[in-house]
A and B are shown apart, each in its own frame.
Chain A
Amino acid sequence: MYNKNIFKIFILIYCLWFLTPTLSQAIETICTYGKTKYIYIGKPIIKKEPYCLTYPEDQKKASLISLNCKNKTCEALKEPSQIISKQKLYSEIGSPGFHLCRTLKGKPQLLDYWHGNQWHSTSRCQFSDDSFIEIDYLYHLWSKSIF
């Protein structure tokens, strides 16, 4: 019983800790401890993990980023630093967004995330510091370096 109460208090503190920065954030980025779904070796895996939805001014929709990208200091959101040849991204093989992700040394992954009482299908690019970014948003950020 004693252990269970400690566990509940721990969860409560954790949630408060987690929500405090979320609530104090500006409206353009909302973080949550939500569900993601992907397929692993033929089976759907549903996982609870923190992620954020950011609302860039020049984008029509919310974009998925990792919690460690909230302050824009992660690898996934680092400033473009090279010119990328469109020819390489649009070869006859494969999808351009995945090519871009790999060119930037990321690992692309298809996944769904839970938001607003429904699953949203998307793909993300994961980097070595465990940061990730929705591939559409990554492409948008790099669009001025892709020719």
Chain B
Amino acid sequence: MSTEQKQTASEVWNSLVQEAKRRSIENKMVTFLNAFNKYCGNPVLYGMAVSKSLPLLREGQESHIQLMKKEIERVSKYRAPLLECAELKEAAQTLNRSINCEDSALKRQMSQGIQAASNRIQSCTNVDNRTDILQRPRDQDSTGWCYAYTVADLLSYKTGKLISAAHVANTYNDSFINHTKQFFNTSEADLHGGMIKSAAEKALQKGVCLEEDLPSSDYLYSSLTNIKSGIHGVENAKDLYDESLSPSWAELLFHPITSITSWATHDETIASSPQEIFQNCPEIQGNWKELFPNLNMDTILEVLAQSTSMSVVDNLIARACLKNSFVPDTKLNIVEKIYRGGLGEPTPDEMTQDIDDQLNHKNIVGIYYKASLLQDRYAAPKYGHASSVVARRFNFLSGACEYLIRNSWGSSCANYDSEFSCSDGHVWIPQEHLVNMMYGITYVQ
């Protein structure tokens, strides 16, 4: 087992120890021990892990009973907690205890849940606001631009034109804070995270660029590279360009003879060298053409000559969007509500009502939420993420009102909790779980 694998195994073990304080870890522990035995190949270590796992398993079951009791109480405000009750019974049985969902307290919560669901049927009508303009879910791949993909969805939906998420991210990254980060050599593509409202407003002020001029779906537009490596490539190319024009001071100081030779070489090629370098390098050309399909080599070289390495991406984007960037005719108002647990802030339940209102009025809504709960509904809330809510339905099997999240993880459905139904990158989240993971909404009026 490599050092890296040992470290990963140790991290996994620590996370299981933490998780046992909140819920059952039986399945995960068994799987982990199997994997550990298979890849580690050390029977002594494996034996130690097994013996240490036993008290953890018990602690996990105890925690799970408490978790399910809380979940039954929480969920019964939305629907009948049948699933949670079954899990509660199962957890109790493993500890040789008997819990009956017909007990008075649980029975009361069950009937409260049934009542809540029957009330919700009336308002949870089936709505699907997806239109052709949204196309298939995009894949943010290597970038942290979920907020920009959400903005692009919201604005594309409102304007009927497919907006470039890369342009939204670039405009947002031009803020003072991000410029400061860039000054310390952070690449445009490495600037992660953002707020939907602020990004949407900045994009609208500056004029939004279309997807056809500035492609932003990683790999949809490429089989060679992705946006992140493409932008890195452009920034590196700027350095290459500068180097091709003059030797550095350090070179002249420490290697005067070779520098003079190389200077002479450069000197000969000043007239044609950058053109030749860039035209004869398919790798660089690949980056340019994928990121800026409507710019020719002359324009690119002109921008390179006029830009610093900090401004080269911005200037290329400005050129790419010059003709087709547009500001919508009607003024668009961006509404954002965030819940941080403070008094007077709209709660996730209140925000769900806003989502309903917008869906009923044929709009879609951007949401902020914790992505760890997409993969595992009982996980600790981690990893801030943003997506769009595009539809709603009532699930008669579970009795839950469900919302359709259009994610930016491509068409994959492998990454979601097995209780959530998923199709082509869209995942249905029951209301009781949505309110648990969501901490903000944004929509365009």
Contact = CB atoms under 8 A, between A and B. Distances in A.
Nearest to A41: B289
Interface in B221-241: 221-224
B141 A95 contact: yes
Contacts of A96: 375, 409, 412, 414-415
Contacts of B375: 86, 90, 96
Contact of A139 (B136, B289, B411, B415): B415
Interface in B353-410: 371-372, 375, 382-385, 408-410
A108 interface: yes
A17 to B, nearest CB: 28
Interface in A6-44: 38-42
A109 B141 contact: no
Interface in A71-98: 80-87, 90-98
A42 B215 CA distance: 8
A38 B290 CA distance: 13
A128 interface: no
B8 interface: yes
Contacts of B411: 110, 121-123
A93 B28 CA distance: 25
| Chain A interface mostly | mixed
Contacts of A122: 411
B35 interface: yes
A139 B414 contact: yes
Contact of B139 (A82, A95, A140, A144): A95
Contacts of A98: 139, 141-142, 218-219, 410
A93 B371 CA distance: 11
Nearest to B384: A92
A135 interface: yes
Interface residues of A, number: 38
B28 to A, nearest CB: 7
Contacts of A140: 414
A41 B382 CA distance: 36
A1 to B, nearest CB: 39
Interface string B34-62: 11100100000000000000000000000
A95 B140 contact: yes
Contact of A93 (B9, B34, B192): B192
A144 to B, nearest CB: 5
Nearest to B212: A42
Contacts of B39: 81-83, 145
B193 interface: yes
Nearest to A137: B414
Contacts of A109: 219, 223
A81 B402 CA distance: 38
Q: Which of B32, B34, B139, B215 counts the most A-chain CB atoms under 10 A from its CB?
A: B139
Nearest to A95: B409
A92 to B, nearest CB: 5
Interface of B: 5, 8-9, 11-12, 15-16, 28, 31-32, 34-36, 39, 136, 139-144, 192-193, 215, 217-224, 286, 289-290, 293, 371-372, 375, 382-385, 408-415, 424
Q: List the 7 shortest-distance A-B pairs measured between CB atoms, nearest first.
A: A139-B414, A95-B409, A42-B293, A93-B144, A136-B414, A147-B12, A97-B412
Interface of A: 38-42, 80-87, 90-98, 108-110, 121-123, 135-140, 143-145, 147
